[in-house]
Structure 1
Amino acid sequence: MTAPTAPQTRPPTILATSGGHRTGGRTMVEFDALVHHAVDLSGAHGRRPRVLYVGTAIGDAEHFTARMAEAARVAGFDLTPLHLFPMPNLDDVEGTVLEQDVVWVMGGSVANLLAVWRVHGLDRVLRRAWDAGVVLSGVSAGSICWFQGGTTDSFGPELRPVTDALGFLPYGNGVHYDTDPGRRPLVHDLVADGTLPTTHCTDDGVGLVYRGTELVEAVTETPGKGAYIVTREGDAAVEERLEPRRLPGVA
Structure 2
Amino acid sequence: MYGPMAAFGYVERPVRVDLSRVPEGSVRPLSDGRLGPPNRRQSRNQAASSSRDNPRSTPGASMQRILAVGGGGFMMEDTPSPIDRHITGLTGKARPRICYLATPSGDLPAHLDKFHAAYGDLGCETSHLAFFRQPDARSILVSDFRARLLEQDAIFVGGGNTKSALAVWREWGLDTVLKEAWGSGVLLAGMSAGAMCWFEAGLTDSFWGSAYRPLDCLGLLPGGCAVHYSSDSKRRETLHAAQQTRSIPSSIAIDDFAAVMYVGTSINTVVSWRTGSTAYQTYCKGGTVIETALSAKQINV
Same fold, TM-score > 0.5, yes or no: yes
SS, match of residue 128 in structure 1: helix
User: Which residue is equivalent to 1:172?
Assistant: 224
User: Which residue is equivalent to 2:276?
Assistant: 224
Q: CA deviation at 1:31?
A: 4.8
In the alignment, is the contact (CA less than 8 A) between 1:20 and 1:31 conserved in 2?
no
Instruction: Count residues in correspondence.
Output: 239
Does residue 71 in structure 1 map to residue 118 in structure 2?
Answer: yes
Larger Rg: 2
User: Which residue is equivalent to 2:24?
Assistant: none
User: Which residue is equivalent to 2:259?
Assistant: 207
Q: CA deviation at 1:190?
A: 1.1
Equivalent residue runs for 1:119-134 within 5 Å: 119-134=171-186
User: Which residue is equivalent to 1:111?
Assistant: 163
User: Which residue is equivalent to 2:37?
Assistant: none
**In structure 1, which of residues 95, 101, 104 is the aligned counterpart of residue 153 of structure 2?**
101
**In structure 2, which of residues 71, 81, 85 is the aligned counterpart of residue 36 of structure 1?**
85
In structure 2, relative to structure 1, the CA distance for the partners of 1:23 and 1:112 (3 Å cut) is: closer
SS, match of residue 107 in structure 2: coil
Q: CA deviation at 1:186?
A: 0.7
User: Which residue is equivalent to 1:56?
Assistant: 103
User: Which residue is equivalent to 1:184?
Assistant: 236
In 1, distance between residues paired with 2:194 and 2:145? Answer: 18
Please report the TM-score for the alignment, with normalisation by the length of structure 2: 0.74
Gaps of 5+ in 1: 1-5
In 2, distance between residues paired with 1:23 and 1:34? Answer: 11
Task: Report the residue type matching 1:34 in the other structure.
Answer: I
In 1, distance between residues paired with 2:80 and 2:184? Answer: 25
In structure 2, relative to structure 1, the CA distance for the partners of 1:124 and 1:30 (3 Å cut) is: farther
User: Which residue is equivalent to 1:3?
Assistant: none
Moved more, 133-142 or 10-19: 10-19
Q: CA deviation at 1:152?
A: 1.0
SS, match of residue 97 in structure 1: helix
Q: CA deviation at 1:13?
A: 0.1
User: Which residue is equivalent to 1:196?
Assistant: 248
In 2, distance between residues paired with 1:109 and 1:71? Answer: 22
Task: Report the residue type matching 1:217 in the other structure.
Answer: T
Gaps of 5+ in 2: 1-54
Does residue 140 in structure 1 map to residue 195 in structure 2?
Answer: no
Task: Report the residue type matching 1:53 in the other structure.
Answer: Y
In structure 2, relative to structure 1, the CA distance for the partners of 1:150 and 1:55 (3 Å cut) is: same
In structure 2, relative to structure 1, the CA distance for the partners of 1:39 and 1:10 (3 Å cut) is: farther
List per-residue Cα deviations over 1:171-209 (Å, max 9, x = no partner).
100100111221011111111221111100111000001
Task: Report the residue type matching 2:207 in the other structure.
Answer: F
- Greater relative contact order (Cα < 8 A, sep 6+): 2
Q: CA deviation at 1:50?
A: 0.9
In 1, distance between residues paired with 2:189 and 2:182? Answer: 10
In the alignment, is the contact (CA less than 8 A) between 2:201 and 2:224 conserved in 1?
yes
Please report the TM-score for the alignment, with normalisation by the length of structure 1: 0.88
**In structure 2, which of residues 210, 222, 241 is the aligned counterpart of residue 158 of structure 1?**
210
In the alignment, is the contact (CA less than 8 A) between 1:51 and 1:78 conserved in 2?
yes
SS, match of residue 232 in structure 1: strand
In structure 2, relative to structure 1, the CA distance for the partners of 1:81 and 1:170 (3 Å cut) is: same
In the alignment, is the contact (CA less than 8 A) between 1:31 and 1:75 conserved in 2?
no
Moved more, 93-102 or 160-169: 160-169
In the alignment, is the contact (CA less than 8 A) between 1:153 and 1:160 conserved in 2?
yes
